[in-house]
Structure formats: structure tokens, C-alpha cells
Structure 1
Amino acid sequence: MTTSGSQLRARLRDDDLLVCPGVHDPLTAAVADHVGFDAIYMTGYGTSLSKVGYPDAGFITMPEMIENAANIQERISVPLIADSDNGYGNATNVVRTVREYVRAGAGAIHLEDQTFPKRCGHTKGRQVIPEEEAVGKIRAAADVRDERDESFVIIARSDARGTGGGSLGEAIDRVNAYLDVGADVGFVEGPTDAGEVRRVGREVEGPALYNFVGDLGTSPYLDPDDLERWGFDVVLFPVLSTLATISNVHAAMETFAEDPATAMRAVDADFDATPVGSLHEFSGFPEVVEWEERYLPGGDREKYEGSLGDEVSDE
């Protein structure tokens, strides 16, 4: 059976930049999958905000993140790259964290070198653990990968650039040390301008990832073609679905507050203009009907006769 990790590794061997939209739950992931991408990214910030209602400041737990990743990967047809924060503890905690993400079926995780509690990589106040400790955590992650699923991809991230007095050189050195002990992709968080980004692409000694956050943080908006030319292999757009959801729902709610019926008609019209079909089709009701026809007793089909509601089969 082809795993998500093996699909992702095959895609990473291509020369083209891998562009990954960020999603925060199975619903937004299903939309991204319908549009069509080679891989999809689960944002930690969006997961925390949508699942528990708190910002990305160490408030969400490992089981909550794993559950979201498993549900997203089940819903989509392409590999999922998932945020795994700082592994939720020391190197021994990382062992369980990676085992759980592998069991969830994800294609990859990124693991950072922040202290606990961690925080969004584009907010002030971040701190990193000593490099030796961080190297041990990445080595533990790589060992679990080798034991449980060699195709699983480990992305090692350093936040050293964003700490008080932290330098870009230190962050690059850390990422290269993580690559030396088995990480598959290097991720320097928080370069502050195009010059720093070019340096990351040049000096990271392995596949490199760029986190495209723009105005929400320290890293600039850049043309993906430039990133590819500078040596990057993967680019994440982490809060794409989260920002789109907040802005669009806010606009709909403002209209709803003024005129509920008009707002609902407008939302219906906007939805009908998308190519996803009806809500029931998009959510998977036709497949449920197919399961019923295949596995339930023949008489169970009678429940549809004379009943009211939208047709949920694809006949």
C-alpha cells in the first residue's frame, strides 16, 4: 500500500516547488483537496484557534493535534504535512509524538526547537532549548521514523532567529545539525527579508522549507518562483484557510445581523457558484447511500420511500 509519506517523498524528488495551502480542520481540508494540490498542510495556529479557541501559545495538546491530523488525512486524497509543535516535551515525549502521527497516517510533521510552552513562530517572546537537547529530539524522531515507517518525512525547524539576540546563522547551523542526525527537510523560521531568505536557501544543506506568513509575522511576501530559484523545495501558506474563514464568516455575519433572510440567500448563492455541487454531495452523502445499498438488509432501502428531503444519492 502506498503511504502518504511515500507519496510525499516522490513529490519532493520533483524539481518543482511544492506549494501547500494551510487548513485547520477536515472541512477546509476537503475544500483544498477538491481544488487540487499535491500536499496539504495542517496549521497549528488554526488548529488551536478552531479546535480549542485559544491562540498558538502552547494551549493545545498532543492528542488534540493528532486527532485533527488523523481526521484531515482521512478526508483528503493527498499527503498531509502536520504541525507537531515542539514534540510536547523532551526527546522521550517526541518518541510517542512521532509514533502517534505515523499511526494517524500523516505524510510528514515539522518539529521545532522551542521551549515549552511554545508560541507562534512569528510572535515575540520565543525561546529555544539548547542545541544539544534539540539534536537529541530530532534524532529520536528520525529513529521512530526508521522503526515505524521509513517513508514518513521529518521536517526539522529552528526558531533561533526569533529569540532575543538570536541570529540567522545560528538558526541555519541548528537546522543543518538536525539534518545531520536524520531530518529530511530543514525549516528556518522567521527570516526577515529577501536577503535572509536567499541565504537560507543557499546554506541549508538539504531540502529547504519556507513559511509564507507575510504581514502576520517577520517573513516577507515573496514570489514562489523566486523561492524555487533560491533553492527551496517546499512552501507553506499556514493560515490561508483560517484567515479566509474568519474574514468570510465575519462578512456574512454582519450582513446576517442586518437582514437574516437576505444574508442566507446570499450565502446560498455564493455556495451554488462553487463547483463542489450540493452540500450533501460535497460532504459525502452519496457514498453513505452506496454503503447502505451494499451492506444493509434490502428492506432498509424502504426508509427512502415517501420520505421528505433532498435526494442524497448520486443517481
Structure 2
Amino acid sequence: MTDSGATLRTSLERDELLVCPGVHDPLTAAVADSIGFNAIYMTGYGTSLSKTGYPDAGFITMPEMIENAANIQERIDVPLIADSDNGYGNATNVIRTVREYIKAGVGAIHIEDQTFPKRCGHTKGRQVIPREEAIGKIEAAADVRDDRAEDFVLIARTDARGTGDGSLDEAIGRANDFLAAGADVAFVEGPTDESELERIGREVDGPIVYNFVGDLGSSPYVDLGSLEEWGFDIVLFPITSMLSTIANVYADLSTFADDPVAAMRDIDDTFNAQPVGTLHEFSGFPEVVEWERQYLPDEAQDKYEDSLGDDLESE
């Protein structure tokens, strides 16, 4: 991607819902990209669990998140929307956070108004910072965007609905304040039913996001057509690759424990049935071979003569 923010803005200008599957690493991102989506989402929960083994409870750091985002964006051909948690500090910390995500080349980030340490937006025990402080963080993020990359998309998320005494009124008020402070898109986390989604669509004065977490959280399963009707612009499916990976690896390894050889054959057959080519083709080995031909001395090709292994050229 040369300008993923501009590409993402073009998608948002279309009069249709932008559907973004969630991925947790470059491998799952490459799978999503091979299927074809206009944008892909990097989940914070999945990044934390896959990189550290810990849940989305404030254990992962900014450099780890940015490294993952940069590697994902490098691997895919569409804009990445990345979780940036609560910006990893106060408004001054947010300045560096946004600068680093811009350098990573992603199309967008979302910043939330939770306290530190933060936690998954669909678990109990969340707390939010005062509204004035949260507005200051969004103002800082917007100023960095304007100074460094005007097309970079800033999504401002509020978790106020899910706090102990949170109300939808407070969440909608914060969302509108964040838009007024310079956010491009508002994100109200944790609406509990369709009537709340309708209110968000009606009362938030700008583009809006729905976080589709399914059975993991408090927000309802809804038809995508209804989201469009209510005025939503982006729908994130954050845990898609994470749940799929856990469920399928568990199932395969359970079979493997009983009969490793038969299980490996089934895994091979399942993989070969997908339209992604061989593992080497999917991972990009043919491109590496082409780089060698283009840039290395001719004698560097001698290593392929009479050597054993899969043919690494694309068919």
C-alpha cells in the first residue's frame, strides 16, 4: 500500500457498509486478503493472545501492537484498521502512538477512552477517564493526523456504555464530542440491543462503527442490512480469525492425539482443497525466487541444480 488512508477514505465515501474481518497476525491477514475484502481489521485481543499468550487486559505494549500492525499492512493489499487500545497513556503519549501507527503505514486506528490498564470492551470491570481528558486525547491524535498524514483515518471509541454506571446518553455524548474534537469516525462500544443501535445511528453526528463480537460480548447479532439502514458505516468482526484458529487447531490436534498420521492426511487434504495454491506459493516463495534471479549473481542459481525439495516457482 502506498496510501492506505486515502484508499480507506474512498471506501468510506461509498454508500455501502464496509465489512472488515478481524485478523491477529500477518498469516491470518494474508488468508483474508486472498479472499478479497476492501479493508481488514487488526484485533487487539487477538494480537495480545497470539503474541503474549495473555488476554486483552492491558498486558500488551505499544511497540508490540505497532510491530504487528506494520507486518500485517506490509503483507496485505488493502487498508488495515488497527486497534490502538487507549493510546498507551495520556494525551502526550497519544502523540507518539499516532505518529508510530502512521509510520507503520496503516489506514486507520481506533483509540478508546478507557483507563489504564484497559481490558476487552466486552468484559466487566471497565472504567473510562473523564470526558474532558478523553477529548484532549482525541484532539492530540487529530493534530498529529493533520500534521503527518491528512488521509489517515482516526476512529474515536468510547466504552462509557459498559462501565458500572455507564449510560447510552453518556456514550453518545462522548462520541459526538470526539467527532467535534477531530475524529473522523465514532465508535460506541457495547450497545446492548437493537434499539440502542438505532439510537446511535440517529443521534451520533458522523460516521459510525459497529463492533460485531457475537457470543463473546454484550452486543447483539444483527442483520447487516439493518446496520446500513440505521446509518452505520463500518462493521468490525474482531475475533473472526482468533476464534477460527482456536476452534480448528483444537479440533485438528484432538484428532492428531488419537492418530497423528491420519490427522496429518486430513489436514493436508483440507488445505489442498482451498484455492490458495501450495503452502510455498501462498507464503510467497515464488516471489523470493524471482528476487534472486533479478538481483543475485547468476552463480547463485546453481543451488537449484540437482537439489531436492518442492519446486518454488509459481505455476
Q: TM-score, normalised by structure 2?
A: 0.99
Determine whether 1:264 maps to 2:264: yes
The separation in 2 between residues aligned to 1:198 and 1:228, in whole angstroms, is 10
The separation in 2 between residues aligned to 1:104 and 1:284, in whole angstroms, is 21
The separation in 2 between residues aligned to 1:170 and 1:14, in whole angstroms, is 30
Q: List aligned pairs for 1:213-252, cutoff 5 A.
A: 213-252=213-252
Match for residue 50 of structure 2?
Answer: 50
Shift of 1:313: 1.1
Partner deviation per Cα, 1:145-184 (whole Å, 9 max, x = no partner): 0010000000000000000110001001001000001000
Determine whether 1:204 maps to 2:198: no
Q: List aligned pairs for 1:250-289, cutoff 5 A.
A: 250-289=250-289
Match for residue 33 of structure 1?
Answer: 33
SS at match of 1:144: helix
The one-letter code of the counterpart of 1:112 is E
Partner deviation per Cα, 1:67-103 (whole Å, 9 max, x = no partner): 0000000000000000000000000000000000000
Partner deviation per Cα, 1:3-35 (whole Å, 9 max, x = no partner): 000000000000000000000000000000000
The separation in 1 between residues aligned to 2:214 and 2:58, in whole angstroms, is 22
The separation in 2 between residues aligned to 1:54 and 1:268, in whole angstroms, is 30
Match for residue 195 of structure 1?
Answer: 195
The separation in 2 between residues aligned to 1:293 and 1:72, in whole angstroms, is 26
TM superposition outliers: structure 1 runs of 4+ over 4 Å: none
Match for residue 133 of structure 1?
Answer: 133
Match for residue 291 of structure 1?
Answer: 291
The separation in 1 between residues aligned to 2:214 and 2:298, in whole angstroms, is 56
Determine whether 1:8 maps to 2:8: yes
Partner deviation per Cα, 1:27-76 (whole Å, 9 max, x = no partner): 00000000000000000000000000000000000000000000000000
Partner deviation per Cα, 1:242-270 (whole Å, 9 max, x = no partner): 00000000000000000000000000000
Structure 2: where are the runs of 5+ without partners? none
The separation in 1 between residues aligned to 2:150 and 2:207, in whole angstroms, is 17
Shift of 1:2: 4.4
Partner deviation per Cα, 1:108-132 (whole Å, 9 max, x = no partner): 0000000000000000000000000
Match for residue 75 of structure 1?
Answer: 75
Q: List aligned pairs for 1:45-194, cutoff 5 A.
A: 45-194=45-194
Q: How many residues align?
A: 315
Match for residue 17 of structure 1?
Answer: 17
Q: TM-score, normalised by structure 1?
A: 0.99
The one-letter code of the counterpart of 2:272 is D
The separation in 2 between residues aligned to 1:314 and 1:19, in whole angstroms, is 31
The separation in 2 between residues aligned to 1:214 and 1:71, in whole angstroms, is 27
The separation in 2 between residues aligned to 1:19 and 1:314, in whole angstroms, is 31
The separation in 2 between residues aligned to 1:119 and 1:53, in whole angstroms, is 15
The one-letter code of the counterpart of 1:11 is S
SS at match of 1:132: helix
The separation in 1 between residues aligned to 2:96 and 2:288, in whole angstroms, is 34
- Aligned residues: CA RMSD: 0.7
The one-letter code of the counterpart of 1:173 is G
SS at match of 1:122: coil
SS at match of 2:21: strand
The one-letter code of the counterpart of 2:83 is D
The one-letter code of the counterpart of 1:63 is P
The one-letter code of the counterpart of 1:114 is Q
Residue 6 to residue 266, structure 1, CA distance change in 2 (3 Å): same
SS at match of 2:19: strand
The separation in 2 between residues aligned to 1:267 and 1:314, in whole angstroms, is 22
SS at match of 1:170: helix
